[in-house]
């Protein structure tokens, strides 16, 4: 793994702002080689952590399913309050899905850390002081999205969908279908709550500005509604429960980016 902080004196002179530099004689080639090697190293570490958590979670998957099905059982009629399976492998597959979900959620401090450390060399030297706060904020936002989905969005969505379904039939919900829905929603909300961090890093790299973001609000709202319609069940409760936090995250990003720009110009 290359030493990201080490540079030759000549590289420092040609890079006064503190960006990562390559070899003095062929900077582009060395930069590309270092970049690929760093990406490989970060991916191996992140995937290794996720794999370890996955194997541990497989041993307690059935207990985790018992916890995850809580919001569903709350809205089902008592005589139908259970999950079903239609094939001999359904439960095993569901256990694997749950282990995957848990590995992504609990492994987020590791893979988010690796992500930001990979991004770090692209920042100016004076901007790298934000990396540790970015890592902490990213982990907190991801967990916040997961908690919001499980305790707020999921009960509202299930109550609406099950209530509508009871008007026309009997609920027979399989464990595989329910876990697949959980994976989609929980991971989606986790990443949606990362929106401020992604937009801030793009702003630090001068790819976007808070002025441009403010002018693009109407287009962003349309895009948010489209994304919410794709990622959520086809009901207005779920779509609004996703769209509203997305837009709030966008507005928060504009405020933070404006503050950072003001601080940089002082």
Q: For the chain, which residues make up each domain, given as ranges?
A: 51-192, 194-266
Report residue 83 as tokens.
């999950």
Question: CA 212 to CA 203: how far, in whole Å?
Answer: 11
Eight-class DSSP state of 120: G
One pLDDT digit (tens) per residue for the chain, 266 residues: 444 444 444 444 444 444 444 434 434 344 677 778 888 999 999 999 999 999 999 999 999 999 999 999 998 888 888 888 888 888 999 999 999 999 999 999 999 999 988 888 777 777 778 888 889 999 999 999 999 999 998 998 888 888 888 888 888 899 999 999 999 999 999 999 998 888 988 888 788 888 999 999 999 999 999 988 888 877 788 888 889 989 999 999 999 888 887 776 66
CA dist 51 and 45 (Å) reads 10
Distance from C-alpha of 17 to C-alpha of 132, rounded to nearest angstrom: 20
Three-state secondary structure call for residue 36: helix
């Amino acid at each position: 793994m290359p030493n990201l902080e080490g540079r030759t004196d000549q590289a420092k002179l040609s890079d006064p702002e503190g960006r990562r530099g390559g070899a003095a004689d062929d900077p582009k080639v060395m930069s590309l080689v270092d970049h690929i090697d760093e990406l490989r190293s970060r991916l191996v570490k992140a995937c290794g952590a996720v794999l370890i958590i996955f194997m541990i979670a497989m041993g307690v998957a059935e207990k985790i399913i018992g916890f995850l099905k809580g919001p569903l059982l709350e809205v089902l009629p008592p005589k139908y309050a259970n999950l079903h399976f239609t094939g001999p492998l359904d439960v095993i597959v569901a256990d694997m899905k749950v282990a995957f979900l848990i590995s992504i959620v609990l492994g987020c401090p590791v893979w988010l850390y690796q992500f930001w450390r990979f991004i770090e060399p692209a920042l100016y030297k004076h901007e790298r002081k934000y990396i540790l706060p970015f890592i902490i904020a990213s982990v907190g936002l991801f967990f916040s999205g997961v908690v919001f989905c499980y305790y707020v969005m999921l009960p509202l969505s299930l109550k609406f969908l099950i209530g509508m379904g009871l008007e026309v039939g009997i609920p027979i919900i399989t464990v595989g279908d329910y876990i697949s829905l959980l994976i989609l929603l929980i991971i989606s909300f986790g990443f949606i709550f990362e929106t401020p961090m992604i937009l801030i890093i793009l702003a630090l790299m001068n790819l976007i500005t808070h002025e441009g973001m403010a002018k693009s609000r109407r287009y962003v709202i349309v895009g948010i509604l489209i994304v919410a319609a794709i990622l959520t069940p086809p009901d207005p409760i779920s779509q609004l429960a996703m769209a509203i936090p997305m837009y709030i995250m966008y507005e928060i990003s504009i405020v933070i980016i404006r503050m950072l720009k003001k601080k940089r110009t002082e």
